[in-house]
Amino acid sequence: MNPETPKLAIVVGTYNRLDQIQRCVESILRETTTPFVLFITDAGSTDGTVKYLESIRSDVIKPLLVGKLLGQAKAYNDVFALVTTPYVCWLSDDNVVVNRGLDIAFDILEYDQRIGMVGLKTRDVQGPFVDAPYIGGISEVGILNVNQGMLRTPVLNKVAGFSEAFRDYGIDPDLTAKVLFSGYDIVYTKPVSLHHYRNWSTDKSSPEYKNIKEKNDRARKLYANKYSQFLRTSPILKLKQTARFAIKKAKFPSVGRTKKLVASNFSRDWSNILSGRYISLLDSVLYCGKKYHLRQRCPKYLLPSSLPDDPEL
């Protein structure tokens, strides 16, 4: 571990997933050379996680034993309030850092001051989406979804962190939208930065699946209501979406051929370019040779005078 003054704060939340948080921590230590401090907030685990966290406590690794479920947004925000480093990132305990992913995101932010947030490109290594080159796409209003990311701490403070109205689900795309509509660029790391061990049930009849679906549906409604003013389809976006539909129909006419669509990075990248607002059609050319792509920038004349308030459901 690097003894230098930390430049990056890494925040991870966990609850009763000892094997996963161990794997996550080990990957951070193995893959990250940027001087960092790691905060791990635990919601009251009873599976040995607390003992493990105490065993690795140090000047670099700082467990925060909260002891109760606060909801992801509040749990993360409480830790964000302690951050004094120039940069901060958030991960989930079911993530594993690969390909020096955090170092790459840090380098991107150091290189270009206009970039406010870097999405950590994530690939599922178990579950129904293992054939996809990476997960994460475009939200209902045409904004990149950043499920795990890194951003400048002043930017995080400016947008007031995660919205606690969302509690657990939908906090990530909401934060991304707040950063974008505050005038900062959003990008994705070009290489995969994280592996994701998706461990929730895909059985639609299971109570767990129904509970997750209910929370996701609520988050989507909150998000759509909050950003409804940005739902208008511009002529350029309409043209891009028409092109995306035509390409999909031409290349993959058969029903049930989803795996072919997501099998290549090229297809996934172009799907995001064509369905996203404010992403140039020349993105792959403009950022050839860079460590990032899918650069999204809201034009100044479209920036709101203030961020929208959280709606009530």
pLDDT(259) > 60:
no
What pairing do the DSSP bridges indicate for beta strands 185-189 and 292-296?
Answer: antiparallel
Average of per-residue pLDDT across 4-8: 94
Cα distance from N-terminal residue to C-terminal residue, the chain: 45
111-116 own/partner pairs: CB under 8 Å, 24+ apart: 112/185, 114/184, 114/185, 114/297, 115/184, 115/185, 115/186, 115/187, 115/292, 115/295, 116/151, 116/152, 116/155, 116/179, 116/180, 116/182, 116/183, 116/184, 116/185, 116/186
The highest-level CATH class for domain 8-302 is: alpha beta
Higher pLDDT, 285 or 138: 285
Instruction: Specify the higher pLDDT residue, 85 or 132.
Output: 85
Query: Which has the higher per-residue pLDDT, 206 or 258?
Result: 206
Give percent of the chain above pLDDT 90.
Answer: 66
Sorted by where each begins, the domain ranges of the chain are: 8-302
Number of C-beta neighbours around residue 210 at 10 A: 13
Separation of alpha carbons 309 and 37, rounded Å? 32
In this structure, the strands spanning 61-65 and 36-42 are parallel
> Is residue 288 exposed (0-12), middle (13-18) or buried (19+ Cβ within 10 Å)?
exposed
Q: Count CB-CB contacts under 10 A for residue 245.
A: 12
Closest of 11, 36, 35 to residue 24, by C-alpha? 11
In Å, how far are 68, 102, 242 from 33, measured between CA atoms?
32, 9, 44
Computed over every residue of the chain, the mean pLDDT equals 89
Cα angle 154-158-164, degrees, rounded to a multiple of 5:
120
Q: What is the pLDDT of residue 257?
A: 45
**Averaged pLDDT, 230-258:** 66
Q: pLDDT over 70 for what percent of the chain? A: 91
The mean pLDDT value for 258-266 works out to: 54
Q: How does pLDDT run across 53-73, given as a tens digit for each residue?
A: 999 999 999 999 999 999 999
DSSP-based three-state secondary structure for 111: helix
